Each structure stands twice: as C-alpha cells, then as structure tokens.
Structure 1
Amino acid sequence: MVYKYDFLIIGSGIAGMSYALKVARAHKGKICMICKSSLDEANTRFAQGGVASVTNLAVDDFDKHIHDTIVAGDYISDRAAVEQVVRNAPAQIKELVSWGTNFDKKGDGSYDLHREGGHSEFRILHHADDTGAEIQRALMAAVRANPDIIVKENHFAVEIITQHHLGVEVTRRTPDIECYGAYVLNPDGKVDTYLSKVTLMCTGGCGAVYQTTTNPIIATGDGEAMVYRAKGTVKDMEFVQFHPTSLYHPGETHPAYLITEAMRGYGGVLKLPTGETFMENYDPRLSLAPRDIVARAIDKEMKKHGLTHVCLDVTHKDPEETKHHFPNIYHKCLSIGIDITKEMIPVRPAAHYMCGGIKVDLNGQSSIHRLYAVGECSCTGLHGGNRLASNSLIEAVVYADAAARHSLEAVDSYSFNTDVPEWNDEGTMTNEEKVLITQSVKEVGEVMSNYVGIVRSDLRLKRAWDRLDLLYEETEALFKRVKATRDICELRNMINVGYLITRQAIERKESRGLHYTIDYPVHAYDKMKQK
C-alpha cells in the first residue's frame, strides 16, 4: 500500500505529539503519527523529575539557567541552542498547561518548584514524581481529540526514503539528500510506502542497547540508525548519560525503576550500605553534583568495595512529607519490601539518556532536506557533554515548536515523489531462527555494558568495535534473507547505534562530560587551565 501525508511523524512522546498539535492547529495538510508500540509507550512517560524552566523571577533568571546548562555540559554546549531553549521555556510551559498538563502548586497558587543536581535554583516544575506520565496523559488526550491527526499504533518505520531508493548513489558527501517519507512495517507483517512532504523523526532514546536502562524496551535508537544508514549526520553519540540512581532490584533491567534526581534535591544523601557517605571525596556539591560526576563516583565505590549497589537515604526527612512528594517511589519500594521512610534505597547507575543523536540546526532540521528531528533522538547542542537534569522535556517541546514553525512555512514548496518504488521482499522467507536474533540482542547489551559503559579505555572500545562488527555482518546477512520483522529491524538499529557510540568514543581523545576514559583522564579544557 502507498499512503500520502503532508506531515509524517515517526515516534510519539512529548516531541512528536506537541509537534503534531502545533501543525494541526495551523490546519494545513494531512498529519500521520507512526508509533512502533502504543501511543503511551514512550520515554516521556518514564520521566519522573520534571521540566526545567525559569519561573520564580524573584530569585532566578535566564542567565543562571544558561550558566548551569553550560557548566553541566562541560563547556561544549552550543550557546545558541542553550539560549533558544532557556529563553523559550516559559512560553512552552504555558502551552503544556493549555493542553491540560497539571503541575503541582503551593497553597498560594505558585508552582511548587524542585531543585535537582547541577541547578543553582529551584526551577523544576513537576507533578508529584510522575511528571512525564502526566504530560503524556495530557498530550495523548489532546492528540486523540484532534480529528486532523491520524495515529497508527504498532507500526514500525524500517527505513526513511531518499534518492538512494530511486537508484541514485548517495554517500556522506552527497550535498542534497532529500527525504521522501518512509517504509513502514504494518501489524500484518507487510511493509507499506508512506510518502510525505515533511518527515519528523522523534523516536526517543537508545538505552536498550545496554543491559540495564531506565528506558522502555522499545528504546532501540531507531531514528539515529535510520538517519545514519541514509547518510545523514549523527553527532556526539559517545555522550551516554547514566542516571546515578536507578532502583537496584535484580531482574528489573528493562526498564530499571528510576529514583528521580529530585529526591536528592529534596535532601536525599548517597551512602554506602554501611551508612558511610562518600560524595565528599568527589565533589563539593556532594549528592547534588551533576549526573556524570555522581555516576562515576558510584561506579568507583561499587568496584572498590565489591558492591552491587550503593544507597540513597531519606530516612532523616519527615515521613509524611516524603510520601507526599514521592508517592510512586514510596509504593514501588514498598512493593519489594523497602519502606523508604525507615530504610535506605538500594541504587545503582543505569543507561538513561543519549545527549547526542541526529544533528539538527535551530529549526530542528537535519542534514537531510525535508527531514526534521526533535527530542532525544536529536542532537541540538543543548546538552554538550552531559545533560543538565530536567532539560530534556523542555528541549523537546521548544524544538518541536521551532520545527513546526519552520516546516509549516516550507511544506507548500514540496511535493510528493511518486517515483518511489514500493518495498520489494521477493525471494525472502519467514525467519525460523528467532534464537539468532534473541542471542544477538543479548550480546549487544553485554558488549556495550562491559566495554562502552561509564568508564572506558582504548582496549575496551577496540574490543567492542570488533564484536559489533561481527554482529553487524551476521545480522545484515540474515536481514537480506528474511522478511522484515520488528525484532530483526530493532537488532539492526541497536548494532548501528552501538557502533556509533563506540566509534565516536574512540575518536574523542580526551575525557569530557559523560565520556570518561582511563587512557585520557584529563580533558583538553583542564589542560588549557593548567597552562
């Protein structure tokens, strides 16, 4: 089947849904949103902490938020991107509220603001400890109520369509690559052709390439992989953020339950299981240091003492206040026998957020014409070497607004490319060797966690490169023989993403932000200061 839509949105979450609503509001063209699972299964839903925005002008201002973002990003953030997000954040908060999002307020009607690691002020708007789920709820209701937005659940984008599919040789040096839509696997196992004037990639994260992640299992880096295969620019993939505090509960790894950073802003203290504190040995900001520092500190303490986890202690706080601020965490921990008002919470780092991704400009445009990218799959330059807590959701909605404005102005100048051939799977067969895929997925997770984790080395990265190269050759050979299925497509994407993280980690000959290597322990910025 061939479908035609003016706007094709691949992915959902806060990025895709806010973009769809903004485009639909302009009443221009047909809009289709492709969801690989259900509309509600996105990284957005798992975001507990909140949304960062300058709100309390009595003590906070844009310059402080900009400074905090650049410091957390290890001074390699794109200043223009930081300015755009920070200065446009308040307007987009109002937009989220207009779509039905409820943020917690105090008795006087002002927002109940949290503070998280790396922030100099209380500026995190939240809804208890399930902010992402509240935003997802509100946006889903707005999207489903809009007759101009067609939502196709359980559809999987296999590849984006470019001149390559018209028989033109496309390389990374081709100056005018264009996106004409995507090939999409439907629930019946057939690959349909979706032609579009404008395509938005908003596929979320890639945490599932690691053994333990706070991301849902669907976070396999599909957007980054598709754009990379289409010869688009993918940047800063070495900067994988490991959240310092996922709940340590053996067996729960995809996703590992997130213990929000707001709990440390609330007064939670990191300790060894013995009750001894350790963050004073690493950073004067103690438990509220940026995530890269805290994650490395925990990793080192676990290795030094042979531990499976460390602990987060809030037992010194008022029990009723703790239950009020963190009801979901309280009940989750209670379900596994831990009363957080009386006992410390066992925590350990888990893969959490990709700071790099599809390189885009201030309008959300990728290096491929007619293709935009927003949200975690994109690389705006905001995060630099390390994301400041709660900057991701606001980045997604600010860039969705920029991409909507720009694409609405350009869409009428584009036309559908009707020369695109339909997907050809003649001669392929149904895959009867699912065990090969299952085993390869497991191997990818082991390789990435063991060799491309929180602490890296040239030797570990070389070993990862070699293992991934073998997995790539095996998987591509299998993909050419069998009909497209979601599991083999996801495996291809995971291998591509693992390769990109590894290659770009090898290329960075310094420790910077989230990329820490024992072969280059002092990064270039520190060397400059030493001189």
Structure 2
Amino acid sequence: MTGPAALAGRPVVAGAGLAGLATALLMDRPCVVLSPAPLAADAASTLAQGGIAAAIGPDDTPALHARDTLAAGAGLCDPAAVEAITRAAPDAIAALAGLGAVFDRRPDGTPDLHLEAAHSRPRIAHAHGDGTGAEIMRALVARVRATPRITVLDHAALRRVIVADGQVAGVLAERAGGTVAIPTAACVIATGGVGALFPTTTSPPGGLGSGLACAARAGATLRDMEFVQFHPTALDATPPARGAGAAPRVLVSEAVRGAGAVLVDETGDRFTDELAPRDVVARAIQAHLAAGHRVFLDARAATHGHFARHFPGIARACLAHGIDPDRDPIPVRPAAHYHMGGIETDLRGRTSVPGLWACGEAASTGLHGANRLASNSLLEAFVCGGFVARDLDATSLPVPRPLPARDTPQPQAADPADVRLLVGRAAGILRTADGLRRAARALAPHVPHDDQALVGALLCLTALERRESRGGHYRTDYPDTAPDAVTGRITLARALPALAALAPVPFLLEH
C-alpha cells in the first residue's frame, strides 16, 4: 500500500467523465482526479450523442424546460432541483463554449437546436451532429491537461471511502495492481451509472455502480435505486466481445426520431408514438419484440438520403454492421442506458456523510425523478459539477491524519456474468415480485464483499419494495401508478437485514 504524501489533503474526485472533470476544472483549489482509464476513454459522457438540453432558443424559457422535466419525471422530481438546474442551463452552454467546446450552428450563426422526445421546444445543443459528448470531453480533457493544480491518476479506480469519527478521512484506490491510499477530508464520487450490470446496455464496461457501492459502505443514503432508463433504440447488432464486461451497444440517438424517423416492424407498419417518453417507447418495443416481431427505425424519408450528414457517428456504426441508413431501416431494441437513482445529494452535491459529495449519474439530485428527460444528463453533470466545485471552495477542510493500516479490499466473489444475468432478468423493462425476490436472494450472500452484487441487490430490493409502476420502473404485477409519489431511500444498514431474510443461507452482516 502506498500513500503519496504530496496528494494528502487534496479533494479527491473519483471519476473522469463530464461531472468529474467539470468539478475539477471549476474549483479553485488543487485536487486529484481518479481516472479508471486514460482521460475520456471508457466514459459514458464521451459516448453521449444527442446533446445537452438548454432553453437558448428564441421561443424557449427555462420555465418551459422545467415544466417538461417535471412531466417526464412522473411526480418524483425535486422541483427546487429542477428549477435550479434548468435555470443554469443557458449559462452552462456558454461556459462550455468558453472552455473550448464547439457546438453546431446554423448558417446564420444561431445555435442549431434539435428536438427530442418529451421536449416541447427544440432545445438540444449538439456538436458534430451526433458527437456532442465526445466534443465536450475533448475540450475539457485539454483544459484539465493544461491545468497544473489538477493531478490526474490514470488507471486508478476508487475502491473504498474511509470514514473515521463520522466523516471522510481518506480513499483507497486501485492502481496498477496495487492500492493507493490518499488521506483527505473531501471525496467527490462522479463514477457514473449502473448500465454495465445489465447484459444489454449502451454503457461502457466500467459502469458497474462502483461509486454507489463505496458510498453505501461509507454509510451514505441512496435514493430511487429502482429507476433505470432503458433507451428504446440501441442498434440491434451483436456488439464485439470485450473481456468479462458487458459490451456496449451502439446508441441510435433520440435525435434521429426527433428528425422524423419512424419505428416500424418487419411488415413496415408503425406501432407506437416515436416521440412519447422513453419508458413508454421502450415498453412498446419490448412488447412488440416479445410478440415475435422485429423492430426497425426507418430514417430514409426523414433524412432524404443524407443520413451521414446529420448523424455521422451512427452512420459509421451502422455501416460497420452492413446497414446503410439511407437504404435500410435500422434494426433496434431497448438497452439499459441511464440510472435516475444514485447517491442522494442536496444542491451543493453533499451526501449524508460529511466530507462526501457526488455528482453526475452517480448522484440522485432530484432532477430526473422516475424518468430522465432526454439530454438532461450532460446538463446535470456539468451544472452540478459546478455546484460541487463552488461548495468545496467555500468549505474549510481539516488537515488530514495518517490513515490506519487496512487490508486490501477483497476480490469480487460473484461471477460478473452471473450478476448481469440476474439483474437483467429481474430488473429489466418488465419486473415482477417473484423475479426480483429470486435475484436479491441469489445476490445477498455476496453483498458483504462484492460491490457489483451489492448494487444489483439494492436495485432489486428497492424495485421489490416499490409496488407500483412509474417512469422507468414497471411492475407487471402492479401496473398502475400509486396515487402518492413516494421517494425511496435506502442505506446499507437497512438493506442488510432485509437481504439476510431473503438469503438461502446466513451471511455476515459486516460492511
């Protein structure tokens, strides 16, 4: 175990997607960024196609953006969070441009804004057609590399948050097969979502919820873990094998449907409203597939033979699989895409554990509620990264104490493929009490020492407890929405006894 003395006392930002890099860039104090891969590689932010939502059009306002966000969230959004983040959106676009991100513009120089599902106005700022995330990350990575006060530890992944006397005292990170211990009173978890816990996903392999597990083991409250958004239109072609991780499917952006593409089956018939909220469209496609049909996104009439001009990245991915979107309908199916739940935070990014902040997909700010509005994720990542940065700059951090000697975290006990299979079957688009109970029971014995099993079990347990259907959570045994919208909160201390009661054999309640 090594502990670089030069880094002691600096805030540690775990994660190098948009939320993590925004936090590091927008604070004034020296900090450390843990990047599990080289900067911008393997980050969900880099893969984001559609764009970033902001009310910058002449007929739009933040109030309209907030209204659409609240409607999509199905009663579980925090109105204060929605108002604060949508109000900050126009300035976020300007700030990103100031950091070097180049957004697409019309010939007259005005922003070229896309329309996406459940938005009442075209308000999606984008770059290179469908390369928004990559462009934003390019700009921010360049700025981070040019900022001496930011120390980036490549190939370093957060493994544990150390808590002493009720507050953060340090972090353990895995790097190059060893463990790096950094004494610090401030840790920001920006590790992304949980999509790679599902067998069919658009998320990169690192999206396993590791930051959520670290927060839970540190005592933090998690919120709305059961709400997973399944993107309706992932390319239905076999992704390349990628080690032990779930290989991500290519996303066919919401913006393609916003441009006029229609969903059809093998007969050419349309069967749903393409611009309905994502959960509605995903369930419609899943039901059509279950009935024995194939599903295609037909953009031929919408893009008039110029698909690649509008969506170059998607066109390249389709052509790699022998599909020409100007001639062929694109085969699609739903895939796990975004986690609305996560580590509960306030609007400063603070969690229930002193010294622990969270932002981006790992956090639950209250913006998304039960169902994220399209393209609000990049917005939340950047804006809330700024909220965290400002709060850290205004917080007096104690001088760190040397960390006590600790055992290296135990290796994962469960087979990751088994975890994905269990979570995918039980907590997919359609859920039942029996399936959720079986999955939680199978995962429970591995929870004390296996982070993937812990996150999967918490997701299944909270989905089991929510006896209704709402947004990204659909129970076939409880298909109606309950009259009262209840926010679900869970801690490891509460979850362990519930999981122990489900487990076929006793397991230690240690964490």
Q: Give the TM-score taking structure 1 as reference length.
A: 0.87
One of 192, 208, 212 as aligned partner of 2:180: 192
Q: Contact 1:448–1:464 at 8 Å: present in 2 too?
A: yes
TM superposition shift of 1:323? 1.9
The amino acid that maps onto 1:423 is: R
Could you tell me how far 1:425 is from its partner in structure 2?
Answer: 4.5
Tell me, yes or no, if structure 1 residue 238 matches structure 2 residue 226. Answer: yes
CA contact (8 A) 1:192 1:422 kept: no
- Are 2:369 and 1:384 equivalent residues in the alignment? yes
Distance of 1:162 and 1:471 partners within structure 2? 22
Matched, 1:302 2:289: yes
Which position in structure 1 is the counterpart of 2:490?
Answer: none
Distance 2:104 2:483 in 1: 40
Contact 2:204 2:248 in 1 (8 A): yes
Q: Displacement of 1:458 after TM fit?
A: 0.7
CA distance in 2, matches of 1:425, 1:356: 29
Which residue of 2 is the match for residue 393 of structure 1? Answer: 378
Query: Following TM superposition, by how much is the alpha carbon of 1:80 offset from its aligned partner in structure 2, in angstroms?
Result: 0.3
Residues of 1 paired with 2:174 and 2:179: CA distance? 4
Deviations 1:235-258 (A, max 9, x none): 101000111000011244621010
2:252 to 255, 259, 268: 259
Matched position secondary structure for 2:361 = coil
Task: Note if 1:215 corresponds to 2:177.
Answer: no
**Structure 1 residue identity aligned to 2:171:** A
2:468 equivalent to 1:510: yes
The 3-state SS of whatever aligns with 2:332 is strand
Q: Distance in 2 between matches of 1:512 and 1:318?
A: 34
Q: Deviations over 1:157-202 (max 9, x none)?
A: 1100102xxxx6xxxxxxxx31122011221x22121112321110
- Pick one of 371, 391, 399 that aligns with 1:416: 399
Aligned partners of 2:137 and 2:230: how far apart in 1?
23
**1:460 and 2:435 aligned:** yes
Aligned equivalents of 2:213, 2:99: Cα separation in 1: 32
Within 1, Cα distance between the matches of 2:271 and 2:306?
26
**Structure that is richer in helix per residue:** 1
Per-residue CA deviation, residues 502-531 of structure 1 (Å, 9 max, x unaligned), is: 11111111111111101111111399xxxx
User: How far apart are residue 72 of structure 1 and its match?
Assistant: 0.5
For the residue of structure 1 that corresponds to 2:447, the secondary structure is helix
C-alpha distance in 1, partners of 2:277/2:457? 27
The letter of the residue matching 1:14 is: L
| Amino acid across the alignment from 1:417 | P
CA contact (8 A) 2:426 2:439 kept: yes
Is residue 83 of structure 2 the alignment partner of residue 70 of structure 1?
no
Q: Is the 8 A contact 2:117 2:278 kept in 1?
A: yes
**1:107 and 2:107 correspond:** yes
1:349 aligned to 2:342? Answer: no
Write the distance in 2 (CA, Å) between the matches of 1:141 and 1:419.
34
Q: What is the one-letter code of the residue matched to 1:343?
A: D
Kept after mapping to 2: 8 A contact 1:213/1:352: yes
- Residues in 2 aligned to 1:454 and 1:227: alpha-carbon distance in whole angstroms: 26
Alignment match, 1:9? 13
Unaligned runs of 5+ in 1: 169-176, 280-285, 477-491
- How far off is 1:423 after superposition? 3.1
Pairwise CA distance, 1:397: 0.9
Task: Name the structure 2 match of 1:523.
Answer: 481
Alignment match, 2:131: 130
Cα distance per residue 1:459-507 (max 9 Å; x no partner): 111111111124436xx3xxxxxxxxxxxxxxx2211110111111111
Dislocated runs of 4+, deviation >6 Å? none
Counterparts of residues 97-496 of structure 1 (less than 5 Å): 97-127=97-127, 128-163=129-164, 177-187=166-176, 189-252=177-240, 254-279=247-272, 286-304=273-291, 306-307=292-293, 309-410=294-395, 413-425=396-408, 440-472=415-447, 476=449, 492-496=450-454
Q: CA deviation at 1:2?
A: 1.9
Note if contact 2:446-2:454 (Cα within 8 Å) is conserved in structure 1.
no
Which letter does structure 1 place at the counterpart of 2:73?
A: G
Q: Any idea what SS the aligned residue of 2:334 has? A: strand
Counterpart Cα distance in 2 of 1:199 and 1:8:
5
> Which residue of structure 2 aligns with residue 173 of structure 1?
none
Separation in 2, partners of 1:269, 1:317: 9
| 1:282-339 deviation per Cα after TM superposition (whole angstroms, max 9, x unaligned) | xxxx1001111111111111112x24x4110011134444221101111211121111
Distance 2:299 2:484 in 1: 35
Separation of aligned partners in 2, 1:126 and 1:318: 17
Deviates more, 1:321-330 or 1:237-246: 321-330
Counterpart code for 1:204: G
- In 1, the alpha carbon distance for the partners of 2:475 and 2:144 equals 44
- How many residue pairs align between the two structures? 475
Helix, strand or coil at the partner of 1:211: coil
In 1, Cα distance between the equivalents of 2:280 and 2:302?
25
Structure 2: tracts of 5 or more residues without a match: 241-245, 486-511
Within 2, Cα distance between the matches of 1:396 and 1:339?
Answer: 34
Mapped partners of 1:424, 1:183: distance in 2: 10
TM-score, normalized by length of structure 2? 0.90
Which amino acid in the other structure matches residue 180 of structure 1?
A: A
Given that residues 193 and 423 in structure 1 are in contact (C-alpha distance below 8 angstroms), is that contact kept between their aligned partners in structure 2? no
CA–CA distance in structure 2, aligned partners of residues 451 and 201 of structure 1: 27
| Letter in structure 1 aligned against 2:407 | N
Distance between the aligned counterparts of 2:464 and 2:116, measured in 1?
31
Q: Deviations over 1:110-138 (max 9, x none)?
A: 01000101101000000111110111111
In 1, Cα distance between equivalents of 2:420 and 2:267:
31
Q: Distance in 2 between matches of 1:192 and 1:401?
A: 27
CA distance in structure 2 between the aligned counterparts of 1:425 and 1:453, rounded to whole angstroms: 34
For 2:188 and 2:484, how far apart are their aligned partners in 1? 38
The answer to whether the 8 A contact 2:169-2:401 is kept is no
Alpha-carbon distance in 1 for matches of 2:344, 2:480: 27
1:84 aligns with 2:84: yes
What SS class does the counterpart of residue 67 from structure 1 fall into?
Answer: helix
Residue 186 of structure 2 aligns to a residue whose secondary structure is strand
The question of 1:46 aligning with 2:47 is answered yes
Q: Does 1:55 align with 2:52?
A: no
Q: Match of 1:116, SS?
A: coil
Matches of 1:414 and 1:2, distance apart in 2: 19
Shift of 1:424: 3.0
Percent identity of the aligned residues? 40
Corresponding residue for residue 502 of structure 2: none
Which string of whole-angstrom CA distances, capped at 9 and with x for unpartnered residues, describes residues 386-432 of structure 1?
A: 0000000001111111111111111xx32233142133359x9xx8x
